[in-house]
Structure 1
């Protein structure tokens, strides 16, 4: 026959493992929130500089402003997704802790809590699932933002490469660029 103390401990460990997993996800999500906040600040500062400054190439400045506005929209969506995920993770952790406490209390008091600890643990699992779904959406938004920024940087590189070729060609005209 199994030791009752061991049974209690075993029943309480399952929510504790889930708490640990949710906590690890929460820590990485907190880091991501900080990175999104930094990106938003960077783009806001860069946009302010573009609006206030004189620019040699107005077309590129306009394109950069448009790219920044698109980035700000994506990063604000990312921020909302991350906040939803964090809320889901905090709720999940709270529910797992509550389930663990109820399991322990039931065993210590020889009371009956019925299916309440199980229902609470299932709700915690659903909250954890919701949070990971939000994180998967946020990852896709992050990839979209990176693609847009890279596309702009490629356009910028092409433009400045063309300006360099025009400035440094012997006849003052654009030098023939090798075909790749």
Structure 2
């Protein structure tokens, strides 16, 4: 099929192309928002691991009471943080893949609207569906990771309660 210059200009100036590309653009924006918030979650894990590292150094230097309990608490939190970081990395990979599929779908829609035929309309749809599957997978991984976040927080609260109990028993004169 030979396309002359006028047909090419008419195809590219059609508002149908931009209108058709809007849905993938919204999904690309949603992926971007999730990538941003997921990156922030990873950053918070990194910050907490640095705090635990400092606490571990203080334990090893003998600066903190209850070193055995602190070591056990830090070990459990480190294991949880490691699992969380792995899950977040997997979800980010799925989000980036989803974004790539949505961008490809948007481009495929533009190409199909300008030059394609109704028989090829399934191609952009299939590409967008692949993006949707990766977006779903990322959301499922993030949901699973949030359970580890709750475990992480609860373990930290448990240790704070332990320290509070010890402080209360010291103030009562118990040993």
> Do they fold alike, i.e. is TM over 0.5?
yes
Q: What is the CA–CA distance in structure 2 between the aligned matches of 1:21 and 1:87, rounded to whole Å?
A: 15
- Length-normalised TM-score, structure 2: 0.86
Pairing of 1:44-83 with structure 2 (within 5 A): 44-53=53-62, 55=64, 57=65, 60-83=66-89
From 84, 93, 96, the equivalent of 2:90 is: 84
- Within the alignment, does 1:105 sit opposite 2:81 as a pair? no
> Superposition RMSD on alpha carbons, in Å?
1.7
Question: Following TM superposition, by how much is the alpha carbon of 1:114 offset from its aligned partner in structure 2, in angstroms?
Answer: 4.3
Q: Is the 8 A contact 2:112 2:121 kept in 1?
A: no
Q: Is the 8 A contact 1:102 1:113 kept in 2?
A: no
- Residues 105-144 of structure 1: CA distance to partner in whole angstroms, max 9, x if unpaired? 1222345644221111011000000101111111111111
From 115, 133, 151, the equivalent of 2:158 is: 151
For 2:14, what is the secondary structure of its paired residue? helix
Structure 2 partner of 1:38: 47
- Length-normalised TM-score, structure 1: 0.83
Structure 1 partner of 2:101: 95
Which runs of no fewer than 5 residues in structure 1 stay unpaired?
167-173, 175-180
Structure with larger RCO (C-alpha < 8 A, sep 6+): 2
Which runs of no fewer than 5 residues in structure 2 stay unpaired?
1-12
Question: Following TM superposition, by how much is the alpha carbon of 1:6 offset from its aligned partner in structure 2, in angstroms?
Answer: 3.9
Bigger share in helix: 2
